[in-house]
Amino acid sequence: MLTGRSLLRSDDLSVEEIGLVLKNADLFMEVLERKVKKVPTLRGKTIANIFFEPSTRTRTSFELAAKRLSADVVNFAASTSSLKKGESIIDTIDTIISLKVNLLVIRHGHSGVLNFIAKHIKVPIINAGDGKNQHPTQALLDAYTIKKKFGTFSGLKVAIVGDFLNSRVARSNVELFSRVGMEVMIVAPPMLLPSDYTVLGVPVKTAIDQVIDHVDVVYMLRMQFERQKRKLYPSIEEYNRFLTLNSARLQKMKKGSVVLHPGPVNRGIEISEEVMDGAAAGNRILIPDQVTHGVAIRMALLYLILSQQEEA
């Protein structure tokens, strides 16, 4: 069990614990397929979703996961909080905890802020994304989606394509995917790579055409314009030339291979309109599966962290 533990990084979990989360996600997928999609597992527990950045998929997924487990949910938005009046982030968190909250789900725009918060409180935290740093639950749901499709991680080749520099998803995924046995490579030009990318220990290619025909998973990263202080790529046309998944490249993909994306998709940039909308993609595009699996993964984490926790 992960009782009382925080999850700030994907490497906070051992390989065995990753397997435990995925195994429990299978159980909760069964719950999500029932007519009544709810169990009393966390009745009496309270979870606070604290989002300092906009979010649709992650916040909604955590909220649904908590409610499916019969927990109470408090949603906090920084834009309408006392932070606007000058209150410190720790005082704000302490106020929320004083309401007898058992677990915090936090997203913040600055890397490392959750580590700072975790040092000052005793309530477990799940990182829902911090700056360009980490997004561990996305890595778990992505791994789960791959496992459901292929039945194994062993021998699978994964290409993570696009804006690696600004992506917290990419960092979490490289670390977790590598540890569970997948062969990971990055596809990005130098201007979309961090200066320390070599510490990741995975090969780097500069164009999607170098990998498209022999990888099992093509993981398209979102171009994060909101995190770019300056224009990092010459033009959309140039991005399309080297990195976009279009119909021609779709046809070159290895038989049985699949496409993942953390969402939301910038249509015409990471993935072309015809691939997103066309029947040609068939069952290769697993983005809807990722969203569904995200609820089951987060249910599993909430259960494993809170089910045996003493009442606050």
The continuous run of DSSP H or E covering 27 comes out as helix 15-32
**Best CA proximity match to 66, nearest among 35, 82, 44, 85:** 44
Confidence of residue 80 (pLDDT cuts 50, 70, 90): low
**Best CA proximity match to 32, nearest among 273, 310, 294:** 294
Q: Is 35 helix (H, G, I), strand (E, B) or coil?
A: coil
- Residues 35, 84, 85, 231: which is the catalytic one? 85
Residue 21 CA neighbour count, 13 Å, CB half? 34
Res. 312: pLDDT tops 50: no
- Residues 9, 45, 58, 293: which is the catalytic one? 58
58 is catalytic: yes
- Residues 5, 41, 57, 292: which is the catalytic one? 57
User: What's residue 279's pLDDT?
Assistant: 66
Domains of the chain: 10-134+292-306 (3.40.50.1370), 136-290 (3.40.50.1370)
CA dihedral 73, 65, 128, 103 (to 10 degrees): 50
**Best CA proximity match to 224, nearest among 290, 269, 277, 259:** 269
Distance CA 169, CA 194 (A): 14
User: What's residue 54's pLDDT?
Assistant: 82
**Best CA proximity match to 40, nearest among 8, 68, 77:** 68
CB atoms within 10 A of CB 88: 10
Average pLDDT over residues 255-269: 95
- Residues 45, 108, 135, 171: which is the catalytic one? 135
User: What's residue 235's pLDDT?
Assistant: 81
User: How confident is the prediction for the chain on average, in pLDDT?
Assistant: 91
User: What's residue 161's pLDDT?
Assistant: 98
57 is catalytic: yes
Distance CA 138, CA 294 (A): 7
Average pLDDT over residues 30-47: 96
**What are 83-136's pLDDT values in tens digits?**
655 578 898 899 999 999 999 999 999 999 999 999 999 999 999 999 999 999
**DSSP 8-state assignment for residue 85:** G
41 is catalytic: no
Average pLDDT over residues 17-35: 97
User: What's residue 196's pLDDT?
Assistant: 80
Res. 228: pLDDT tops 80: no
Average pLDDT over residues 161-180: 95
Chain centroid, CA 276 distance in Å: 20
Dihedral sign for Cα 151, 153, 155, 161, please.
positive
Average pLDDT over residues 168-174: 96
Res. 82: pLDDT tops 60: no
User: What's residue 188's pLDDT?
Assistant: 95
145 is catalytic: no
Average pLDDT over residues 174-186: 97
- Residues 59, 107, 147, 298: which is the catalytic one? 107
User: What's residue 55's pLDDT?
Assistant: 86
Confidence of residue 281 (pLDDT cuts 50, 70, 90): confident
